[in-house]
Amino acid sequence: MRVAIADDHVLLREGLARLLAEAGMQVVASEGDIDSFLPAVGASRPDVAIIDIRLPPTFTDEGLRGADLVRERHPGTAVLVLSQYLDPGYAFRLLQSFPSGVGYLLKDRVSKVAVLVDAVERVVAGECVVDPSIVSRLVNRTGLTEPLSALTPREREVLGLMAEGRTNTAIGERLFLSERTVEGNVRRIFDKLGLADTPQDNRRVLAVLAFLRA
Amino acid sequence: MTRLLPWAVVAAVLSGVTANVLRLRGEVSLAGPSVAAQVLDVVAGAALIMAGAAHGRGRGRWLLPAAGAAWLAAEWANPGAPGAVVFTVGLVAFLAPLPLVLASRWRRPLGEGRLAPAPSRWRQPLMGAGPAVLLATAVLLGLAGAVLGGPLAAAAASPRDAACTDCPQDLIAVAHNVALSTRLARLGGLFAIGAALAAVAWLAVTLASTHRQPRRWLSSPEGAAGAAAAAFAAAVAAGEGVILLSEPASAPATGWHAAAAVMLLALSAAVAVPVLRAARARRVVARMAVEVAEDPRRSAADALGAALHDATLSVAYPMPDRTWRDRHGHVVVLPDREVTLVTDSGEKVAAFIHDSSVRIDRVSVTEAASAARLLLDTERLEASALALVNDLSTARRLAVEAADAARAGLERDLHDGAQQRLVGLRYALGLASAHAERLPGRDHAARLADADRAAELALASLRDLGHGISPGTLTAGGLAGAVRTMVENAPGPVTIVELPTERLPEHVERTVYRFIADFLATAGRMPPPGASIAVRRSGQDVVVEVEYGRAGVPASADPATDPAVAHLADRVAAAGGQLRHDDRGGRQRLIASLPCG
């Protein structure tokens, strides 16, 4: 697995590189800002680009824009955005533009090698990865707006796991449900969100987007 | 205008006498036999008396009326004069108009204690040393000529001695020396020519010193009057020259006399026009002052602009802190040119900023400004009060902005420093535990996991701290996301009714965010139904509406005196907005409107 890293902190770049090396991955590029990172990605064609959300010059959302550019110019490279904050808005923006092969994780969660490897492998496989802590906060929040407030707690749970990027099978395993039950829940979620008539793949993404946006 | 009535009587009497002399013996008059020249002669004298009287103020106010009177009286040295007294006066006044007219061009200091425009660079050349010496020379030569050719010549011999048999008696003749009298008269003529040369030189030097704008000066009342006076002197001198050269017989110089009369008319016009204009300016201002006082949208500048024919005219007022402000208290930087300062006894009262293409003359400005004095003073006081208010609210806004900027800086320092190092520490711990899992004995891994948990907690509390200080998500992601995140972390139930989807100006977003944060800090713990928040655009404003408390349950604190509400009001006011409060049967509502231009 070939990885490129964009983070303006040398310390973190190196720490992350060593973690990835520990997991048997190869760091092929490592840059401190988007302007030098994009050509490096173009030259090394990594399987995945790991990008810190806060990068120079304004330290706001350069990383998010960089992620968009990488996905746009190099569709073969998956993107994992790391953030110091849990902001559903960022996750929403990321998934809205590229609903596959992207992930949004809390920065310090990746210090667990297993979590890091899992996330990298899933985005490279084309899945969406959203930090579970964002999802759990969204699931447990108060004051949900229509139409999400119409969901039952079980359906909300299923939608949360969908938002993390899990397949129906994985959701079933997690919740100790049969796959058919999960499918039934998913269908009801689509109905309640008014997504019944759209194609299967889009529906899943749209449901997650509705969830993140609410 | 009633003050001019005695002058009008004097002018009428003198003109009447002169007209009668001309009617009786016009053929031997200075004006000559032509009726048109005679009429011109009389009108020029009367006009000069009236214009001088209308314009006159200060020490030299009698000079032009005296010159006009002398001009009329010069014709009385004529056999047609009604009596010896009038005839003698005519002999004495013979060459007097010239020095009087020239002396009137001496620049008088403006009356003290009156509103006066301070001299500005381009408008009027100051009377420098060169022009002053030349003009003084011209006046003195003219005076000498007038004395020699007038009273002294009349004393040396009577016209009767020179075979003017039908002339009235010369009352001041002490001798009968005709040759001496003729010589004195000729000497007076020579002096008059010298005076004219000095006057022309004075005009030339003055024009040369008008900062390369001689045309502008010539078309100003002051310049036009100066040029007319010098031309008058030249015409008089030319007439004298004709008489001197025509020896022995004294030839008539009626053409030059008529030219001199025309110059006197021009001088009268140059002196009277600004007076009339100023009187009009004063009338217009006085009339408009009433309208302005009744209509708060109109100002002294409107009245003055109408009076001085400059719709672009604006007024700035001097402040104790040495700035200039408009009537709303905003700072005005005076342009280098196109400004007329209005002063009162040296104290600055106002500055008129006007269109450079509109010529503003001193007298009109003075009249208009003194008519608008009450308005100007009122606006100046208003401006200084408003200036204080503006400065205070600017200071308050700057204080809030500085505090917000300091918060943002602190958050960035936390994020870039301690937080990153903790994340680095967790990466190192993660690496270490990955290694530890391959070591014999599970103890290492468990201890490393404990250390990582401690680091995780430290990071989480640091993150919360940073977010509380200044939300990084606000600048990057906008108000809606940041408020939602904040509400999710609120200790009690909070309903979001509405949030704007578009981005607002950064300082507005920050104010709204901090407003809601401060609100939730006090109201966020409310029991159900808790607090509710709505943020919406309303025209040019952003309206933040928050509700708290439970209907039917009295509020724990009166919002009117609640320090927490006062703090919210302060924050809103610092951003130029307003906070209102209402009580819907126990459910309290705060409505903040913030300008969002």
Report pLDDT digits (tens) over B526-556: 666 678 899 999 888 999 998 887 655 555 5
pLDDT of residue B127: 53
In angstroms, what separates the C-alpha of B573 from chain A's closest C-alpha? 28
Mean pLDDT, range B85-89, rounded to an integer: 89
For residue B219, count other CB atoms closer than 10 A to its CB.
12
pLDDT of residue B526: 65
How many A-B residue pairs are in contact by the CB < 8 A criterion? 95
What part of A 2-41 touches B (C-beta under 8 Å)? 9, 11-12, 15-16, 18-19, 22-23
The phi, psi pair for B339, rounded to 5°, reads -125, 135
The domain limits of chain B are 2-107+127-278, 279-390, 392-469, 476-595
Looking at beta carbons, which residues of chain B come within 8 Å of A27? Answer: none
Distance between CA atoms of residues B471 and B432, nearest Å: 33
Distance between CA atoms of residues A107 and A92, nearest Å: 17
In angstroms, what separates the C-alpha of A86 from chain B's closest C-alpha? 8
Decide if B472 contacts B411 (C-beta within 8 A): yes
Q: Is the pLDDT higher at A205 or at B104?
A: B104
Residue in B with minimal Cα distance to A11? B424
Say yes or no for a CB contact (<8 Å) between B430 and A113.
Answer: yes
Residue in B with minimal Cα distance to A137? B488
Q: pLDDT band for B457, please (50, 70, 90 cuts).
A: confident
pLDDT of residue B358: 66
Task: Residue A7: name the closest of B423, B480, B402 by CA.
Answer: B423
Whether the per-residue pLDDT at B75 is higher than 90: the answer is no
3-state secondary structure at position B548 = strand
- Highest mean pLDDT (candidates B287-291, B405-409, B592-596): B592-596
Residue in A with minimal Cα distance to B458? A108
Q: pLDDT band for A201, please (50, 70, 90 cuts).
A: low
Q: Does A104 touch chain B (CB under 8 A)?
A: no
Say yes or no for a CB contact (<8 Å) between A87 and B493.
Answer: no
For B377-414, write each residue's pLDDT tens digit.
Answer: 888 898 999 989 888 888 887 888 788 788 878 887 88
CATH architecture entry for B476-595: 2-Layer Sandwich (3.30)
Say yes or no for a CB contact (<8 Å) between A112 and B430.
Answer: yes
Q: pLDDT band for B503, please (50, 70, 90 cuts).
A: confident
Q: pLDDT band for A45, please (50, 70, 90 cuts).
A: very high
CATH number, domain A135-213, options 1.10.10.10, 3.90.550.10, 3.40.50.300, 3.90.1300.10: 1.10.10.10
For B346-385, write each residue's pLDDT tens digit.
Answer: 788 888 888 776 666 677 788 788 888 888 888 889 899 9
Say yes or no for a CB contact (<8 Å) between B493 and A89.
Answer: no
Looking at beta carbons, which residues of chain A come within 8 Å of B499? Answer: none
Q: pLDDT band for B592, please (50, 70, 90 cuts).
A: very high
Beta bridge partners of B315: B352
Q: Is the pLDDT higher at B464 or at A21?
A: A21
Q: How far is CA B415 from the centre of its chain?
A: 54
Distance between CA atoms of residues B191 and B186, nearest Å: 9
pLDDT of residue B476: 67
B491 conformational bin, left if phi > 0, alpha if psi -120 to 50, beta if neither: alpha
Q: Is the pLDDT higher at B218 or at B369?
A: B369
Mean pLDDT, range B106-132, rounded to an integer: 51
The phi, psi pair for B112, rounded to 5°, reads -85, 155
Dmax over Cα atoms in chain B, in whole Å? 156
Distance between CA atoms of residues A82 and A3, nearest Å: 14
- Pairs from B19-26 (Cβ < 8 Å, separation ≥ 24): B20/B80, B20/B82, B21/B75, B21/B76, B21/B78, B21/B80, B21/B81, B21/B82, B22/B75, B22/B80, B23/B80, B24/B78, B24/B80, B25/B78, B25/B79, B25/B80, B26/B80
Say yes or no for a CB contact (<8 Å) between A61 and B423.
Answer: no
pLDDT of residue A200: 62
Closest by Cβ to A11, choosing from B415, B424, B493: B424
Optimal mutation site among A84, A93, A105, A133, interface B, most CBs of chain B within 10 A = A84
Distance between CA atoms of residues A66 and A72, nearest Å: 10
Say yes or no for a CB contact (<8 Å) between B434 and A113.
Answer: yes
Residue in B with minimal Cα distance to A93? B477
For residue B579, give Cα distances in angstroms to B407, B515, B566, B574, B592. 24, 11, 9, 11, 4
Q: pLDDT band for B12, please (50, 70, 90 cuts).
A: very high
Burial class of residue A73 (count of CB atoms within 10 Å of its CB; 0-12, 13-18, 19+): exposed
Among A43-52, B136-145, B440-449, the least confident range: B440-449
For A110-143, write each residue's pLDDT tens digit.
Answer: 888 888 888 999 889 888 888 877 777 666 655 5
Looking at beta carbons, which residues of chain A come within 8 Å of B424? Answer: 9, 11-12, 15
Say yes or no for a CB contact (<8 Å) between A60 and B484.
Answer: no
Distance between CA atoms of residues B363 and B569, nearest Å: 52
Summary count for chain A: helices (H), strands (E): 10, 6
Q: What is the DSSP letter of B151?
A: I
Among B123-127, B166-170, B191-195, the least confident range: B123-127
pLDDT of residue A147: 67
Sequence-separated (6 or more) residues with CB below 8 Å from residue B539:
none
For tokens 């040296």, name the residue: B346
pLDDT of residue A190: 81
pLDDT of residue B144: 92
Sequence-separated (6 or more) residues with CB below 8 Å from residue B537:
B500, B502, B543, B596
Mean pLDDT, range A150-168, rounded to an integer: 83
Beta bridge partners of B352: B315, B340
Mean pLDDT, range B570-590, rounded to an integer: 82
Whether the per-residue pLDDT at A27 is higher than 90: the answer is yes
Whether the per-residue pLDDT at B290 is higher than 90: the answer is no
Whether the per-residue pLDDT at B63 is higher than 70: the answer is yes
Q: pLDDT band for B472, please (50, 70, 90 cuts).
A: low
Whether complex ipTM tops 0.85: no
Decide if B279 contacts B366 (C-beta within 8 A): no
3-state secondary structure at position B161 = coil
Say yes or no for a CB contact (<8 Å) between A9 and B420.
Answer: yes
In angstroms, what separates the C-alpha of A88 from chain B's closest C-alpha? 7
Of all residues in chain B, the percent with pLDDT exceeding 70 is 87
Whether the per-residue pLDDT at B525 is higher than 80: the answer is no
Say yes or no for a CB contact (<8 Å) between A12 and B427.
Answer: yes
Would you list which residues of chain B are within 8 Å, Cβ to Cβ, of chain A? 412, 415-416, 419-424, 426-431, 433-435, 452, 456, 459, 463, 467, 472-473, 475-478, 480-481, 484-485, 487-488, 493-496
For residue A157, count other CB atoms closer than 10 A to its CB.
19
Looking at beta carbons, which residues of chain B come within 8 Å of A105? Answer: none
Q: pLDDT band for B109, please (50, 70, 90 cuts).
A: very low
For B548-570, write each residue's pLDDT tens digit.
Answer: 876 555 555 566 667 777 778 87
Optimal mutation site among B415, B419, B427, B525, interface A, most CBs of chain A within 10 A = B427
Optimal mutation site among B420, B461, B506, interface A, most CBs of chain A within 10 A = B420
Distance between CA atoms of residues B187 and B148, nearest Å: 7
Distance between CA atoms of residues B157 and B178, nearest Å: 5
Mean pLDDT, range A79-93, rounded to an integer: 79
pLDDT of residue B194: 93
Looking at beta carbons, which residues of chain B come within 8 Å of A84? Answer: 415, 419, 423, 463, 472
Omega prior to B99 cis, within 30 of 0: no
Mean pLDDT, range B129-146, rounded to an integer: 86
Looking at beta carbons, which residues of chain A come within 8 Å of B475? Answer: 60
Q: pLDDT band for B297, please (50, 70, 90 cuts).
A: confident
Mean pLDDT, range B22-35, rounded to an integer: 82
pLDDT of residue B125: 44
Q: Is the pLDDT higher at B453 or at A194?
A: B453
Residue in B with minimal Cα distance to A139? B488
Beta bridge partners of B318: B324
Closest by Cβ to A111, choosing from B430, B463, B480: B430
Closest by Cβ to A19, choosing from B419, B427, B463: B427
What single-letter amino acid sits at A87?
D
In angstroms, what separates the C-alpha of A179 from chain B's closest C-alpha? 32
Pairing of strands B331-332, B324-325: antiparallel
| Token pair listed for A102 | 């992207």
Decide if B70 contacts B94 (C-beta within 8 A): no
Distance between CA atoms of residues B364 and B277, nearest Å: 6
The domain limits of chain A are 2-130, 135-213
pLDDT of residue B385: 92
3-state secondary structure at position A161 = helix
Say yes or no for a CB contact (<8 Å) between A90 and B434.
Answer: no
Whether the per-residue pLDDT at B112 is higher than 60: the answer is no
For A163-196, write each residue's pLDDT tens digit.
Answer: 777 888 888 888 888 888 888 888 888 888 777 6
Whether the per-residue pLDDT at B167 is higher than 50: the answer is yes
- pLDDT, averaged across chain B: 81
Omega prior to B248 cis, within 30 of 0: yes
In angstroms, what separates the C-alpha of A178 from chain B's closest C-alpha? 32
pLDDT of residue A2: 94
pLDDT of residue A163: 79
Say yes or no for a CB contact (<8 Å) between B477 and A143.
Answer: no
Task: Decide if A2-130 and A135-213 have a common fold.
Answer: no
Find the distance separating the first CA and the last CA of chain A, reported in whole Å: 36
Q: What DSSP string describes A70-93?
A: HHHH-TTSEEEEEESS--HHHHHH
Closest by Cβ to B434, choosing from A22, A137, A143: A22
| Token pair listed for B368 | 């208009």
Q: Does A106 touch chain B (CB under 8 A)?
A: no
Distance between CA atoms of residues B318 and B337, nearest Å: 17
CATH architecture entry for A2-130: 3-Layer(aba) Sandwich (3.40)
Mean pLDDT, range B241-245, rounded to an integer: 81
Buried b (16+ CB within 10 A) or exposed e, B55-87: bbeeebeebbbbbbbbbbbbbbbbbbbeeeebb
